[in-house]
Amino acid sequence: MTPQGPILVINPNSSTGVTQGLVAALAPYALPGGPAFECIDIPTSPATIATSEDVARSGLALAEIARGRPDASAFIIACFSDPGLELLRSLVPQPVLGIQEAGILTAMARADRFGIIALSERSVARHLLRIRQMGVLDRMAGEVGLSGVSALDAGTCDKVLTETLEAGRGLVRQGAGAIVLGCAGFAPRRRRIEAELGVPVIDPVQAAAVIALGAVIA
């Protein structure tokens, strides 16, 4: 294996707590001699990417970062709205993965129909646009928005966990055979949620990370 640059995992919000969660979530996938997962955030961003404007601004910030990192072997956009995904692909030669795409596609590799748990109701319509664009609408069992929680709380707050489990149970009842966690911040909760729901639960950052490994190593 040729030495390779890191897989740059960019959390486009400014929450260092979320970034630390990414580091922990990806640690188990570090191959000896393989690319490191380098996780960074964008200090000038808001703590949660919540609005369409946040998404648009972070797309350009991500482009700036990606252009400055010819050493990276791949990029992961660690925000569930996949900000800047097409943009980065048009700018840099390395593989670029979005966690919404990777999370949903990984769920589709595990079960026929997927459900999504989003941080808030207002993200649901925006996600729907992407899912229709992906051409995979017929595989979606449903999407549920939580009560408007932050990316950090998604992985750390007990009340949010309770809410998340309830949302997941509802999606399973609607026919979801796999659940996609709709934020990069959920990672610390994946195993717990999976154990409770009894169906595959996909952390979208981990999903993107292993696909990135497959892309850069051979």
Strand-strand pairing, 7-11 and 178-181 = unpaired
Residue 213 as a binder of its own copies (CB under 8 A): the answer is: yes
Least gap, CB of 163 to its own copies (angstroms): 21
To the nearest 5 percent, what fractions of the chain are helix, strand and coil? 50, 15, 30
Using the rule CB under 8 A, which residue among 36, 40, 87, 157 binds its own copies?
87
Least gap, CB of 92 to its own copies (angstroms): 11
In the complex with its own copies, the residue whose CB is nearer, 47 or 211, is 211
Query: Looking only at residues 28 through 57 of this chain, which bind its own copies when binding is defined by CB under 8 A?
Result: 28-32, 34, 51-53, 55-57
CA 71 to chain centre: 23
Using the rule CB under 8 A, which residue among 19, 37, 42, 101 binds its own copies?
101
Cα distances (angstroms) measured from residue 48 to each of 12, 16, 36, 81, 183? 9, 11, 25, 11, 10
Using the rule CB under 8 A, which residue among 68, 71, 147, 210 binds its own copies?
210
CA angle 156, 160, 163 (to 5 degrees): 150
In the complex with its own copies, the residue whose CB is nearer, 86 or 166, is 86
Phi and psi at 50, nearest 5°, equal: -115, -35
CA angle 172, 173, 174 (to 5 degrees): 90
Residue numbers at the binding site for its own copies (CB under 8 A)? 1, 25, 28-32, 34, 51-53, 55-57, 59-60, 63, 84, 86-87, 89-91, 95, 97, 101-102, 105-106, 108-113, 125-126, 128-130, 132-139, 175, 177, 190-191, 200, 202-203, 206-211, 213-215, 217-218
